[in-house]
Amino acid sequence: MSANLLAISVGNTRMQLGVYRDDKLVEQRYFSHDQLREIADAARELYQPIRDTEEPAVYLASVDDSVAQAVAMSVGDALSERVWRMEQDIKIPIGRQLDPEAIVGEDRLLNAAAAYDGAKQAVAIVDAGTAVTVDFVDGKGTFQGGAILPGAKLMLNALHQHTAALPQAELAKPSEPIGHNTIEAMRSGVFHGIRGAVRELVEKYAEVYQGYPRIIATGGDADLLFEGYELIEAIVPDLTLQGMAVAHRRAMGDQ
């Protein structure tokens, strides 16, 4: 069954809305958390073309429950539709091999579901946003967990805030590996440090799994950090939204 879906993903610093019609992402938009009115208006506009299609739905995933509640209420009122919450109302279709007490962000699980649905083999997912996560799904489609490190902007901010002399530096791709001034040195350290961490982690995952996974990147900083990087097979900006489309298809099929 094809997905006709308005998918809303609430991240740590921004929000992504995307509309799927017949399994194809036809439009997506980005907002900050405080733009509730704009989000509701965009949801109304995006949902209209799929309102009369087969089994349309509105799904919401979030890493911040307080923001999610406000968005769900605002969008639900604007559309006069139920907003289905991931994991609470709709199970994310990915197996899990985790500690019993582990709590994993919905975005990580959705990325894993989408990546495995496309790869049909072991896959590592690098999500470069406020934090950088490097997760692993085995060849049977089981989410095994992964690693979390500070995102690029967090690193730069921490260097400025927790040292006496290092300046505030905006995130940008370094012009060359050896920084000839402080700002460029900070950018080089963060840029190549994250790339190096991702490579090391994926190689360790491959050792444990005894096979090399496909590697997919997503997140707001993925293009800057990984464009042209031979380690990364593909950069997929809407991976979390794709995970919601996978969950919707699975839910409709189960019904």
| Active site positions, annotated | 107
Cα 182 to Cα 99, 152, 160, 189, 234: the distances in Å are 42, 16, 11, 11, 32
Which residues are within 8 A (CB) of 75 and not within 5 positions of it... i.e. 6 or more apart? 8, 39, 40, 43, 58, 60, 83
DSSP state of 90: B
Q: In the chain, which ranges are continuous DSSP H helix?
A: 36-47, 65-79, 106-119, 152-161, 182-209, 222-226, 239-254
- Mapping DSSP to helix (H, G, I), strand (E, B) and coil, where does residue 24 land? strand
What six digits make up the tokens of 23?
A: 């399994």
Q: How far apart are CA 94 and CA 115, in angstroms?
A: 10
Residue 117 — φ and ψ, nearest 5°? -60, -35
CA atoms within 13 A on the CB side of 22: 1
